[in-house]
Amino acid sequence: MILVNQASAEPAADLKIAVPADRLNLAKRRWRAVAADGREFGFDLERHLHDGDVVHREESIAYVLAQKPEPVLEITLPADPTAAARLGWQIGNLHFPLETTAGAIRVTDDPALRQFLEREHLPFTARTAVFRPIAHGHHH
């Protein structure tokens, strides 16, 4: 097993091998993963890692973190800036992390969020995507 303490800043490699990881593990300090080729990695980090970070290099091979897609709800932003700001405030007030994309907001697929969107008659699309929230949600 290879122990990783930080992302590598070395230049690009000829061959990239994915190290799949879910979003919640990427935010942890200590965790384990298995690369697409079966190589095992242990992580003992000072700072969390991100999708696309190179975690190990050997000659012309780079092991790259590949965040796993997860169920999300995508809400198209209203054209009216006031309505769009209100939507962002309402979702933020529920203390769920969100991701902004061009013309849409993504949130984790959660029953409470589905209920809110349906109650407010806000159209949404359920899909599976890599979720990169702006922040990690509200902490008390």
Top pLDDT among 9 and 26 is at 26
Task: Tell me, yes or no, whether 74 and 46 share the same domain.
Answer: no
- Give percent above pLDDT 90 in the chain: 61
Q: Average pLDDT over the chain, rounded to whole?
A: 89
- Taking each helix axis from N to C terminus, what angle separates 111-119 and 81-93, rounded to the nearest 10 degrees? 140
Joined together, the tokens standing for residue 98 give 């969100």
**Does residue 10 surpass a pLDDT of 50?**
yes
Q: Are residues 59 and 100 in the same domain?
A: no
- Domain stop point among 40, 67, 94: 67
Task: Specify the number of domains making up the chain.
Answer: 2
Are 78 and 60 members of one domain?
Answer: no
Section 42-62 average pLDDT = 91
pLDDT band of 136, cuts 50, 70, 90: low
Host domain of residue 24: 2-67
Q: Classify residue 136: in a domain, yes or no.
A: no
Asked if residue 123 belongs to a domain, the reply is yes
Query: How far apart, in whole angstroms, are the C-alpha atoms of residue 63 and residue 2?
Result: 11
In a domain, 19, yes or no: yes
Q: How many residues in the chain?
A: 140
Q: What is the mean pLDDT of residues 67-85?
A: 93
| 91 shares a domain with 113 | yes
> Are 26 and 43 members of one domain?
yes
pLDDT at 91: 87
- Write down the pTM of the prediction: 0.79
Q: What is the mean pLDDT of residues 32-48?
A: 94
